[in-house]
Amino acid sequence: MKVLIIGANGKVARYFADFIKDDSSIEEVAMIRKSEQASYFEERGIKTVLLDLVKDPIEKLAAAMKEVDTVIFSAGAGGSGLDKTILVDLDGAIKAMTAAEQAGIKRFIMVSTFRTGREAMAMENDLQIYTIAKNYADEWLKNRTQLDWTIVHPGILVDTPGTGQIKVGMGNDVNEVPRQDVAQTLVSVLHHDNTIKKEFEILSGEIAVEEAVRSV
């Protein structure tokens, strides 16, 4: 399957690129914003497409999706300000969904955030606007598109090495999960249709990623 990764230069997506080197069934197209980011992917034999999620129109995004089967949205403003958060994590996500439908793509996988419910949205902290943006992007994906969606809600992302083991389910107490394990989960989601039209949280745990994803 051919997969377009939006936000390919992010930490989770870079781990994803490393995982698929050993998975001949997945061909990645990495959507990047700056030409200097291309070398990382070219060294791994991954094709890149230079697009700006915020500035480029939906039609240009759709054109880049014409030859792919699945879109993974792993972009994020990364704490670069409230305006950028809305432009990337909310409007950018909806642009990507709209482009996918225009391109005739069905499968759309969203990397969201932990606990995107009303309680978390009301908490006044540095992540409040990010959480609100992610929540409404998720709701748009579920209720305003015809896409075969999956939403992955990671816990607190950390850069410690992955263990290949997680726990899944909504309503877990917030905890950490290595970015590497999130990337491995995304690879597994691509191979398991039981995740279509489902959302689940992932945290560090004691169940192998493949087994955990099969149980969703």
pTM score of the predicted model: 0.94
Q: Residue 158 CB: number of other CB atoms within 10 A?
A: 16
CA 38 vs CA 18, 21, 94: distances in Å: 14, 16, 25
Known catalytic residue at 130:
yes
Per the structure, the count of domains in the chain is: 1
Tens digit of pLDDT for each residue in 150-204? 999 999 999 999 999 999 987 667 789 999 999 999 999 999 999 999 999 999 9
pLDDT (tens digit per residue) in 131-140: 889 999 999 9
Catalytic-labelled residue, pool 15, 40, 130, 136? 130
Per-residue pLDDT tens for 92-127? 999 999 999 999 999 999 999 987 566 666 677 777
Residue type, 210: E
Domain of residue 125, residue span: 2-214
Residue 114 burial class via C-beta count within 10 angstroms: exposed 0-12, middle 13-18, buried 19 and up: buried
The mean pLDDT of 2-21, rounded to a whole number, is: 97
Distance CA 26, CA 30 (A): 12
Find the CATH number of the domain harbouring 52: 3.40.50.720
